[in-house]
Chains A and B, each alone.
Chain A
Amino acid sequence: GAGVSQSPSNKVTEKGKDVELRCDPISGHTALYWYRQRLGQGLEFLIYFQGNSAPDKSGLPSDRFSAERTGESVSTLTIQRTQQEDSAVYLCASSLTPTDNSPLHFGNGTRLTVT
């Protein structure tokens, strides 16, 4: 079946511009997650959705970052006034349920480059 899909796969933007990153999770998965991965680093948790609600926003690095999810499906991560330190791969994952024994299914990420 279809996996997690992210778009665009690559995005180059100028410093100060806003960007929107999209994630289409696996159908029926109630939980959706956003992570950030800088070059050569591990994954940094950003935000998690249960249905359309985000009970845990603790990982968002600043108020320039926001995310929403609609229809218990598609999610959008928005970064306003991008900075060079925002350059990274942004990974989306979904899981059937938000419990420890429900594995995460990841997309291939959006590589964001801020020039």
Chain B
Amino acid sequence: LAKTTQPISMDSYEGQEVNITCSHNNIATNDYITWYQQFPSQGPRFIIQGYKTKVTNEVASLFIPADRKSSTLSLPRVSLSDTAVYYCLVGDGRGSTLGRLYFGRGTQLTVWP
């Protein structure tokens, strides 16, 4: 299983862009990279998923370099409500072990006014 490394915590101010980088040196050819967001007392919520280059949705952008050994979640113009834990996950490429994805401790993002 490809494990991930991400900062334990980050701080930002409202209106700023936040970039959270995740390292996954052992990523396999077929693995997807997925990011989840978790608020206190709630289950994680899917944010974005990508395989290579750049993916953008209404919430965030995901940048993946050519070697795919890292990825960066970009949150534009954060607000106080973006304060949460962000998890980076990498699939093991076999297509049937999504449940065994390694969540780790994630990155606690705190947005200040």
Residues in B with CB closer than 8 Å to A93 are: 43-44
From A12-20, A68-76, A78-86, A102-110, give the one contacting chain B.
Answer: A102-110
Query: Which residues of A have CB within 8 Å of B42?
Result: 106, 108-109
Asked if B20 lies at the interface with its beta carbon under 8 angstroms from chain A, I say no
Q: Are A31 and B99 in touch, CB under 8 angstroms?
A: yes
| B29-37, B59-67, B74-82 - interface stretch | B29-37
In the assembly, what is the distance between CA of A98 and CA of B92, in Å? 12
Structural contact, A101 and B32, CB atoms closer than 8 A:
yes
State which of A40, A44, A102, A108 has its C-beta within 8 Å of the C-beta of B98: A102
Contact status A106-B43, CB under 8 Å: yes
Q: How large is the interface on A (under 10, 10 to 19, 20 to 34, 35 or more residues)?
A: 20 to 34
In chain A between 1 and 48, which residues have their CB closer than 8 angstroms to a CB of chain B? 4, 31, 33, 35, 40-45, 47-48
Of all chain A residues, the one with the shortest Cβ separation from B30 is A100
Question: A50 vs B97: C-alpha distance in the bound complex, in angstroms?
Answer: 10
Check if B105 is an interface residue, CB within 8 A of chain A.
Answer: yes
Closest residue on chain A to residue B48 by CB atoms: A103
CB distance from B14 to the nearest CB of A (A): 25
* Given known A98-B95, A106-B43, contact A45–B106 (CB-CB < 8 A): no
Bound CA span A47–B100, Å = 8
Nearest residue in A to B28 (C-beta to C-beta)? A100
* Given contacts A42-B106, A43-B103, A95 and B43 within 8 Å (CB-CB): no
Q: Which residues of B contact A98 (CB under 8 A)?
A: 95-99
Task: A107 to B43: give the CA distance in the assembly, Å.
Answer: 6
Query: How far, in whole Å, are A92 and B102 apart by their CA atoms in the complex?
Result: 15
How far in angstroms is the closest Cβ of chain A from B52?
13
Q: What are the residues of chain A within 8 A of B34 when measuring CB–CB?
A: 100, 103
Query: Given A42-B103, A100-B31, A105-B46: A55 and B41 within 8 A (CB)?
Result: no
Q: Which chain A residues have a beta carbon within 8 Å of chain B's beta carbons? A: 4, 31, 33, 35, 40-45, 47-48, 50, 55-56, 58-59, 91-93, 95, 98-109
